[in-house]
Amino acid sequence: MTKVTFKPYEELVIHEYQKFVLDDMVKLRSIGMQVGSIAPNFQWSDGLAMWKEAFPQNEEMTKENLEGRIHWLWLACAEMPEYKPSLTFKETSIVIPVMNVSDNPVFSGAAKWLKEQK
């Protein structure tokens, strides 16, 4: 039988973050997208919609990951009290899927931290 080991990340390092009004974040995510297309998704946890940009995976990032650290280059968030599976930018009919990641400790930790920032 194969041994299975679960080793969760111990630390999330957020290098920059920006808070938005949800409509503004949807509009920003939709810029440059073809009319009627599906944009890359947002993540949702604990009343926040989030959009993260990670560093490109390279030898240094792989080493950090194996040591239990994740680095996010940039994180955007907006209040979204209730989860919805998608958001639409009405002007261009662009749909942004929203993933409920409430049970993910990295995203729920990020949401908690963001809420503590003034």
Domain ranges in the chain? 11-116
Residue 35 pLDDT? 94
Q: What is the pLDDT of residues 48-66, one digit of tens each?
A: 999 999 999 999 999 999 9
Residue 110 pLDDT? 98
DSSP string, 29-92: HHTTPPTT-BPPPEEEETTEEEEEEEPPP-HHHHHHHHTTEEEEEEEEEEE-SS--SEEEETTT
pTM: 0.91
Q: Per-residue pLDDT for 118 more than 80?
A: no
Largest CA distance in the chain: 54
Q: What is the mean pLDDT of residues 90-107?
A: 96
pLDDT band, very low/low/confident/very high, at 76 (cuts 50, 70, 90): very high
* Token pair 């908690």: residue: 112
* Token pair 């400790």: residue: 105
- Token pair, residue 53, equals 């940009």
